[in-house]
Amino acid sequence: MKRAALHMRVSTVDQHPETQTLDLRQLAAQRGFAIVGEYVDQISGVKARRPGLDQILRDARHGGFDIVLVWAFNRIARSVRHFLEVLDELNRLGIEFVSFREQVDTGGPLGRAMIVIIGAISELERSLIVERVRAGTRRARLERRHIGRKPLELDRPAILRDRQRGQSLGQLARSYRVSRATIHRILHQQALIMEKSA
């Protein structure tokens, strides 16, 4: 009998994972799997840290189960890339993956083929994004447009004058609406100029 781990995720504390849990328990019973662990994440889909998923992967590395059941692809990972990384690790550990909603099972040839297709689409998407960025950068250079953030236009003499009048770094940062690090850098550059001219 295969040992199964169930993973459920809901986006907010107002949602409850019971629906996903019931569906996955029923799926495990239908397939004759023994449930050895249930992992729940109550966290937004875009958050990087997922304690339940992290624990599943730790337990998987110790051979805690043979198969992972999830309610849907988007419940387990924050992006296609993250999803493929999770699947790749499970596959490397010899652990099967089953999605209830998509009806994908990596234990069979069709499920494995689906994962390859998803991976290929993801790789194509990344390549297209990189090419669009490169094309935009080339066009901006040809049009002699500035690429990236515009440099800060600060009244350096006024900052130096206010510093000489006794204003602190925090006061200067608030007055000129910049970070303390920016003020510190301006003062440091001025000190270097003074050293060279001395």
- Structural domain contains residue 118: no
Of 11, 79, 127, 179, the active-site residue reads 11
Q: Single out the residue in 105, 127, 148 at which a domain terminates.
A: 105
Domain containing 174 equals 156-197
pLDDT for residue 177 = 86
Burial of residue 172, with CB atoms counted within 10 A of its CB: 0-12 exposed, 13-18 middle, 19 or more buried: buried
Phi, psi of 73 (to 5 degrees): -50, -45
Strands 96-99, 104-105: pairing is antiparallel
- Structural domain contains residue 26: yes
Residue 152: closest CA among 177, 133, 119, 130:
177
Coil, strand or helix: which one is 93? coil
Q: Is 11 a catalytic residue?
A: yes
- Structural domain contains residue 127: no
The one-letter amino acid at 102: E
* Dist. CA 67–CA 106, nearest whole Å: 9
Judgement on whether residues 8 and 95 belong to the same structural domain of the protein: yes
DSSP state of 72: -
Asked if 194 and 187 count as a contact pair (C-beta separation under 8 A), the reply is no
Report residues of the chain scoring pLDDT below 70.
12-14, 44-48, 78, 119, 122, 149, 151, 198
- Structural domain contains residue 123: no
- Structural domain contains residue 50: yes
- Structural domain contains residue 57: yes
pTM of the model: 0.58
Q: What CATH number does the domain containing 23 carry?
A: 3.40.50.1390
pLDDT for residue 44 = 67
Judgement on whether residues 101 and 8 belong to the same structural domain of the protein: yes
- Structural domain contains residue 121: no
- Structural domain contains residue 41: yes
pLDDT for residue 13 = 58
**Number of folded domains that form the chain:** 2
Judgement on whether residues 161 and 89 belong to the same structural domain of the protein: no
